[in-house]
Chains A and B, each alone.
Chain A
């Protein structure tokens, strides 16, 4: 059984889609191949990878309520390729959007269902996650906490450090509850080639707090990159 994980994010670094696919991959046995579709130049290679695949998992970011354009172009080629070669891999979708509501991925998910029907592929289901960017922040935070724990443990207070780290780990796990609740069963279903249904979840944070965090995040980034001083909110 060969499974191809296709990252549909154009990003080279800090791709939330790659991170989520990496977590899902932990549950999938057999031959696994990771691919990414960043532009036209990737098409031939990725199509070649799915030639003998039974399962294809797309991981992608939500762009303007839908599929990023460069992945959409790939899907059109994949439709032709699968029809010509008589391929029928099962397809799952792991989408993440910047907005906190997971259900904002609904139109994207419907596009994939239409894609599967047109291409003669079986749609295995999908998971739409809201607040995707925060998963990136949380994994960085986890490394920071881990480093602090190591420093304190080495400087002679391992017990207190362990208790603090356990609390911090608990908090990070809490934010991931929805992702884990739907993501783990999805991983197990992908492994067995079963359908997992379509579900939507989010980072476990109320939307008003998420908006506050997102606003602060963009203020900091824009100050650092200088956009704040270049007519940040002006009608250009």
Chain B
């Protein structure tokens, strides 16, 4: 099973119809992370804020693959998508280890197969390089064995694409 996080506008959400996946719609109707670490120290893998992202980390945690479809924002995810990722650190445990020769948290749900990132919208070369690097870093951080990053010049490119 895979999980898809997307910030597609409503009229384009049909691009995801028929796909077998847990879909997290990054519509921004939820609060940003408060940095309290409660999802590690108080109520494991659960946020104290009981909105749509209350247990988002579990939805991502139980999937082998994560697909992210996001508008480009300075070579990074849109605020609404980044909000989902910020609220999902319960994917990890508070314990630390080495991964990719650097310090990272140990993984609550173990290693995962693949992180696939599609970014749409106008994008400069510097932003593409930044996003490629960001996806690579996120893959290490969240414990994905492989990752890919693709820039979509327009959402029409997604039609007929196998996600």
Contacts and interface: CB of A to CB of B under 8 A. Distances in A.
A99 B42 CA distance: 21
Contacts of A215: 94-96
A218 B40 contact: yes
A22 B53 CA distance: 33
Interface string B123-136: 01011011001100
Contact of A227 (B34, B42, B78, B82): B42
How many B residues touch the partner, as a band? 35 or more
Interface string B93-120: 1111110001110001100000000000
How many A residues touch the partner, as a band? 35 or more
Interface string A161-196: 000000000000000000000000000000000000
Interface in B80-96: 80, 82-83, 85-86, 88-90, 93-96
Contacts of A233: 44, 93, 95, 108
B37 interface: yes
Contact of A225 (B41, B55, B61, B124): B41
Nearest to B30: A69
Contacts of B93: 232-233
Interface in A97-130: 99-101, 104, 106-107, 110-115, 117-118
Nearest to B133: A107
B57 to A, nearest CB: 8
B46 A111 contact: no
Interface string A212-236: 0011001001101111001111111
A107 B43 contact: no
Contact of B103 (A65, A100, A231): A100
Given A210-B103, A218-B95, A66 B76 contact: yes
Contact of A117 (B61, B104, B126): B126
Interface of A is mostly: helix
Interface string A39-65: 100000000000000000000010111
A207 interface: yes
A142 to B, nearest CB: 23
A70 B79 contact: yes
Contacts of A230: 42-44
B33 A69 contact: yes
Contacts of A224: 41
3 closest Cβ pairs, A-B complex: A218-B94, A69-B83, A236-B45
Interface of B: 31-35, 37-38, 40-46, 55, 58, 61-62, 73-80, 82-83, 85-86, 88-90, 93-98, 102-104, 108-109, 124, 126-127, 129-130, 133-134, 137-138, 141
6 contacts: A63-B82, A67-B76, A72-B76, A111-B76, A233-B44, A236-B46
